[in-house]
Every structure is written in C-alpha cells, then in structure tokens.
Amino acid sequence: MAVCTVYTNQTLNSTCSISKPNKTHLGFHQKQVVFYRTSKKIKKQSTITCSAAKEKTVVIGLAADSGCGKSTFMRRLTNVFGGAAEPPKGGNPDSNTLISDMTTVICLDDYHSLDRTGRKKEGVTALDPKANNFDLMYEQVKAIKEGIAVDKPIYNHVSGLLDPPELIKPPKILVIEGLHPIMNHHGVGHRRPGAKEEAQIGCWRGWWCAGNRDAARGGSSPLAFMEPLWDDGLGSSRWYDQRVRDLLDFSIYLDISDDVKFAWKIQRDMAERGHSLESIKASIRARKPDFDAYIDPQKQYADAVIEVLPTQLIPGDNEGKVLRVRLIMKEGVKYFNPVYLFDEGSTISWIPCGRKLTCSYPGIKFSYGPDTYFGHEVSVLEMDGQFDRLDELIYVESHLSNISTKFYGEVTQQMLKLSDFPGSNNGTGLFQTIVGLKIRDLYEQLIAAKAAAPLQATKA
C-alpha cells in the first residue's frame, strides 16, 4: 500500500492511485504509483509526495570464496534475529535461499549465467565475472531493497544446472552472500546492443530489451547509459562494477588462509557434495588466479573482515585444527561501533586461562588494538586457540565492550544454542556471533533513523 500526502494552503483535488502488481520480463513484480491532479494551479507553497508506507529492506552483503563458511555464518546471523532459517516452503528442494521471520538469505551463485557444463566448455570459473549476470543481480537486489518482489533464478549446486526461478518477497533484512557482493569497478566498455543482439540475448537474461530501453531513456533507470558491451559470447554482462556494493547497508568479508580453506573445502565438498579429493584439488588450482583477481580484492571495501589463520600458539603447526581468528572492524562506519577489549583504543594482550576459564594445550590468547588496513583506520580483535567449555565463555564476554547484546551473557547463550556448528569452540564462531549482534543493532538504528526522518522534516 502507498500513502499520498498533500501539504498545501488551498484546497487541492488530488488522487494517488496504485495499479495491481504486474510481472515483467525482467522478473520483477512492480507497483506502478501514479499521481494526478484535477486542479489547474498549485501554489508554490504546496508540497506533494506519494511514497510507499512500507519500510525499505535493509541489505547486508557477505563476500567470500567457496567453502569459507558463508552458510554457517548465515545460520548464526539469522538465529540472532529469531526463527528457523529454512528454504522457501513448497519450492525447489535444492533452493539456496533461506527464509526466517525477519531475514531472507539469497546466494549470489543463483546469478551464474552458465551452468557447470557451460563454464567447462567456455573455460571459465564461477569466480570470473563474465560467468555471472551482474545486471540482473543488481536490478533484483535493488528491487527487493525498494519493496518489490522478484523472480530470482536458481543455480542448483547438486546438478550444476540452472533451475526455474523462485519468487522472493521483500523481507525486513536481505542478506546476499556469495562471491561478488562487494565488487569494485571493472567495466571494460559499453554500448547499446543492436536488435539482432537483443534477440540473441533474450530478456530473461536481464539485458535491456526494446521496451525497457525506451523506459530507461526517460531517466527511470540508472542503467540508461550503461548497456553492456556484447563481446564475450557467454550471455553475461561485461560491465561489472560496484552497483551491488552501493546498495549495501553493511558488508562483511570472510578471509580464510589457503591452508585453512583447503581443509574446509575438502570436508564440505567430499562429505556434502560427493566430490573426489582429486577433483577438489583440481578445482582449487583452477580457481586460484580468478580468486586473486576478483574475490580477494573485495576485502578492502568491507566494513568488517573475519580473517582465519593458522595458530601461532603451536610452532610449525600444519594440521589447522587450532585457529587464530582476527575481527577487523573499519572505523567511521555509520551505526557501527567497533568491539573493544578492556580499554578502547589501547593495545592489549590477554591470556584469560586460569581459575575462571578452562584451557587445555595450547591455551587461549586474545589481542586488541588499533591498526590500518588497506589505508583505512581499523580496530582489530584477535583470538588464538579454542574453548574447552562454552559455558565459561561468559567470562571472556564480560571483558568485551560494544558487543550490542540485549542482556548479560547473550553472546554465550547464542554460542551454546549453536554449539554443534563448525567453529563454535574458536574465534570463528565467537566473531560471527558478535558480528550478527552488531548487524541487529545496526538494523535497529537504521529503522529508528528512517522513522524519525519524516518527523524531523515536518518540524523543519
């Protein structure tokens, strides 16, 4: 529903009308809002607005390579907001989407423009932007943020095929997780496709067909002068940039070292997806150049980075069972105050093992302090080692500030509820949980600020 508000010092016959949602060839369910008036003149003092009453969706972006714990992080995050995160009811059993009471998580793999066989044939990996439909990704995330439902494609990780689309309705919080949500500009040129190219590409791929292009000329679309250069033959846009990143209210990057990533990917792809060890090794080798070129650079733009490294508590350790995890938090991000240990801005080293925290070999060590990260001022909280007893985590929690909990011990409670999740005994689970609480706080501040804005405008 939309609300039409009129402020004027004279009588004005005006109407705000809304047509029923129409499904378009781009996969959107659009609401057309039309304002028209029957009076001939409106004084300059008059102000007329017609806007949606519903809150805009808050969008969170999570970037990481495949097999880096995005799915586990998403389940921790949705658990913070309450309600079980489940695939769409009655939909594709292989859907990548998770829906809970307040959140919807969509996997950006769904915007692959080529299936597994197609990528192999063309000699590209899923990490290469040429194998992904950035135009459709941007338009659909933008639509959801503005309260418009979309028919999102599905990439089936089991079969490697592109399945029929599914309806995604705007949630209060949309989390987009995948390979490219924090992408920087990598455009290689643009021009308007010809009629023959439009026919070859097809509207379903998210390209501008004649009707959409004409609408764009009227200024209704930010893509009016950004039509992609058709020269790769892959059915995907060569114009890939930070449009999706600019839609994000907050962004996180999971930065996993090569040794740790290899162990995790083997565990996931062998146990859950039935891949052989040799095929996993070959995949990692093939993906490495594209990871370095397209995925890893995104971390410099993230608001928070969770970095996972081998432990420094065991000299020469190669097993990767004990981890050193760093939470890198950018300073100056609106609605986000970095977590600190003991004293904000100081440099701290703390070994909490003793009477209040059980620590077996090699123990636990925390560090905290200011630093710089790709030229940005950041605060870094680090944990090396693992917990023996999660119920004792509250001792550590009590020494952390700005963790955005609703009550004393909430971090410990969240960790205990998901104690069977990977990383629950080390810094990955702890920092994922804390970031989830920080995102909840950010969401509440954003909503409060949006609610206060009309009141402030009225007073002004």
| The pair of three-digit structure tokens given for residue 446, joined into one six-digit string | 């954003």
pLDDT on residue 169: 95
Q: What is the mean pLDDT of residues 78-91?
A: 86
DSSP 293: I
pLDDT for residue 392 is more than 80: yes
Q: Which helix or strand (DSSP H or E) is residue 47 part of?
A: strand 47-52
pLDDT for residue 140 is more than 60: yes
pLDDT for residue 91 is more than 90: no
Q: 137-141 — which CB contacts under 8 Å span 24+ positions?
A: 137/108, 137/111, 137/180, 137/244, 138/223, 138/243, 138/244, 138/247, 139/26, 139/28, 139/206, 139/223, 140/27, 140/28, 140/168, 141/59, 141/174, 141/176, 141/244, 141/247
Tokens 């990996």 appear where? 125
pLDDT on residue 455: 67
Choice between 15 and 404, residue whose per-residue pLDDT is larger: 404
Kindly report the pTM of this predicted structure. 0.76
- pLDDT band per the 50, 70, 90 thresholds, residue 51: very low
**Gap between the Cα atoms of 308 and 269, Å rounded:** 19
Main-chain dihedrals φ then ψ at residue 172, nearest 5 degrees: -70, -35
| Dihedral sign (CA 411, 414, 415, 421) | negative
